[in-house]
Each structure stands twice: as structure tokens, then as C-alpha cells.
Amino acid sequence: MANATSPQQLPLSYIEEYCGNALVNVAIAFAVVETIMVSLRFLARHVGNVKLAADDVLVVIALILCLGINGVAIAMVQYSGVGRHEVVVYEEGSEYIVLWAKFLVVESFLYLTVVAVPKLAILMIYLRVFPTPVVRKLCYTIGSLMVLYMVIVCLVAGFACRPLAFFWDKTLDGTCVDIKALYQWASFPNIITDVAMLVLPIPMIWRLKLATHVKVGLSFTFLTGSVGLIASCLRFAEFSQANPLEDGTWTSVTLMIWTIIEPGAYLIAACLPALRPLVVKARETSRRSLSFSGKRGSDASAVQEVVPHRHSRIERNTTFSVETSPVEDVEKSGYKVDRDMV
């Protein structure tokens, strides 16, 4: 993996060049955001008095896997020289390159698993919101394809080099498939399933007899999953341009950053629709606060006025009405919807 160029032949700026901090910062930032989002999801469950379901279990599993990828990324920087050029790391000790390659294998299996789990949680939300035969068949089909693909690619990755140790120890007698192509195209089916999952609920929403703004609101709720699609496209483009095995400890920084962002975006997308109880609670608290402040102001004005105006009294006795949510309108159209899940 390392080339034959000696560090003595390289300029000092190249030898001292370092970008590992970028990967560490992204890993820590996403670990914090992912943990907060999952915590808010379960807080919303408590506030909305919603029973835990299978998709909550999947979200917890996804969080553990995401934190695993983040931990691997930080360990790659701390212990295997990621963030520095490979020829420089190799000169300090070939064991660092071996450790980097082992980390790369672990990261591959984590990535292939974690991108599927939060997407399965999103499909379960679809099943709960649109319990129609067509949607049910499509969700089961997409979910089955994702699980099948995950298993197949994990097997392919496991046998990419025979023996597997040949990936990090070229002194062994073995062979490998095209590793660059494997890393690049392994994520392409994610883009296809992302598009299918984004398109799936939209026709159902726009067939409902609802006001346009309600349809737009519902569509926006389900389109939050597009953040995962965007991240998947950007990761695919990055892996198309870079070879993870050429100057691997240097190029791993950018590639690992996108490997962290993509599953993190899926996890965030799976949590966002479930935060509705917190939004409703915050809205009600804000309105009660505004109503209480308005009442105190009106009472103070009434003491100062000799003859209170009739209109003022009407305004003081006016209460705010809670807006009907898009999901409540869907329920009125004959669909069974767990409002706290969307």
C-alpha cells in the first residue's frame, strides 16, 4: 500500500502535513447530535405517552452502530496514523499501516449494517401511517431488498481478500477483488432505495381530500429523509474520485467523514418525524405563556380605565384555539394514524 518513495526525498511541508483533526471533529460532532436526537425521540415518547415500538429498538441499534463507526474513526486517527501521508506513516512503522487496514475492514462491516437499520425504522413509520395493502407490500419489498443486499455485500466484503488477512499482510499468498470498485459501488443501491422511500408516501398524501397546505406539510414531514439521500449521493461521488488504497492514511480522512455523515443523516431522519409531541408541547407552553402575559396586561389596563371598553373585555376573554395538525386531517380522511409517530 505504501510506495517506495523515501521521506527524505519529500519536502518538509508534505511530511508534516496533517488533517486528522477534521475527522475527529466530525466524529465527535455527529456522536453528540445522534445521541441528542435519539434522546429527544424517547423524550417525545414520554411526553406523548406513546408506547415503545419495534422502530424504537431499531433506532437504538442504529445509534450504537453509528457510535461504533465514530469510535473507529477516532481510533484510526489516534492509533494508525490516519490524517498523515502513508509513506510517512510507513517509515515510522509498518504496524501502523496494518492496523489502519484492519480498522478499514471493521468500518466496512459497520457501514454496511448501519445504513440499513434506520431506513427500516422509517419504513415502519410508513406502515403505521399508511396501512394500505399497496403501501404494505411496497414497504416489505423495499425492506426485504435492503436486508438481502446488506447480507450479500457483507459476505462479499468478508471474502474480498482470500485469505482476509491478505488485505493487510501482502507477504501472504492470496488475492483480492477490486477493492476500490467494492467501496464505491457498495453504496449505490442505497441511493436507489432512498429515492423509492422518498417517493413512496407522496402519491398517497396527494390523493387525500385535504387542503393544499396540509398536503405540503405532510409531504415535508416525510421528505426529511432526503438528508440521507443527499449524503449518500455525496459519499458515492467522493468514493468515485478517490481510491481508498492510494495514500490510504491520508485519503481515509475525507472518505471516513462521509462514511460517518451518511448513516448519521439516516438516523436523524428516522428521529425527526417522532418529535411531534415535543413540538406540540412547546407550542402549547408558548401559547399559555402568551395568553397569561396578555391577561395580566389587560387586567392592569382595566384598573386604570374608568370605563372599560367592550372590545377589550372580549379580547381578554378570547382563548387561543389549537390548530388542526396535518396528521389529524389524515385521520379524518379515513386513515388510521398514530399521531405521535409522525
Termini Cα distance of the chain: 49
Do residues 294 and 195 both lie within one domain? no
Residue 247 lies inside a defined structural domain of this protein: yes
Do residues 293 and 208 both lie within one domain? no
Residue 253 lies inside a defined structural domain of this protein: yes
Task: Write the DSSP assignment of 120-189 as a string of letters.
Answer: HHHHHHHHHH---HHHHHHHHHHHHHHHHHHHHHHHHHHTSEESGGGGT-TTSS-EE--HHHHHHHTTHH
Do residues 165 and 196 both lie within one domain? yes
Residue 63: predicted pLDDT: 97
Do residues 128 and 175 both lie within one domain? yes
Do residues 295 and 210 both lie within one domain? no
Do residues 309 and 205 both lie within one domain? no
Domain end point (choices 276, 297, 332): 276
Residue 68 lies inside a defined structural domain of this protein: yes
Q: pLDDT tens string for the chain (342 positions)? A: 655 566 667 788 888 899 999 999 999 999 999 999 999 999 999 988 888 888 999 999 999 999 999 999 999 999 999 999 999 999 999 899 999 999 999 998 999 899 999 999 989 888 887 888 888 999 999 999 999 999 999 998 888 899 988 988 888 899 998 888 888 888 888 899 989 988 888 888 787 777 787 778 777 777 776 778 888 898 888 888 888 888 999 999 999 999 999 999 999 989 988 888 888 888 888 777 776 665 555 555 554 544 444 444 434 343 333 334 445 444 444 444 544 444
Residue with the three cell numbers 493487510: 168
- The CB-side HSE value for 45 (13 A sphere, CA atoms) comes to 13
Q: Which domain does 214 fall in, by range?
A: 7-276
- What DSSP character marks residue 253? H
Q: SS3 breakdown of the chain: % helix, strand, coil, rounded to 5?
A: 75, 0, 20
Q: How many domains are contained in the chain?
A: 2
What is d(CA 178, CA 194) in angstroms, rounded to the nearest whole number? 26
Residue 1: predicted pLDDT: 60
pLDDT digits (tens, 9 = 90+) for 163-190: 988 988 888 899 998 888 888 888 888 8
Do residues 20 and 136 both lie within one domain? yes
Residue 160 lies inside a defined structural domain of this protein: yes
Residue 204: predicted pLDDT: 81
Residue 281 lies inside a defined structural domain of this protein: no
What is d(CA 331, CA 218) in angstroms, rounded to the nearest whole number? 12
Domain end point (choices 276, 294, 320): 276
Do residues 264 and 320 both lie within one domain? no
Residue 2 lies inside a defined structural domain of this protein: no
Do residues 203 and 308 both lie within one domain? no
Domain end point (choices 224, 250, 276): 276
Do residues 180 and 296 both lie within one domain? no
pTM metric for this prediction? 0.80
Do residues 213 and 315 both lie within one domain? no
Residue 62 lies inside a defined structural domain of this protein: yes
Residue 197 lies inside a defined structural domain of this protein: yes
Q: Which region, left, alpha or beta, applies to residue 305 given φ > 0 means left and ψ of -120 to 50 means alpha?
A: beta
Do residues 194 and 73 both lie within one domain? yes
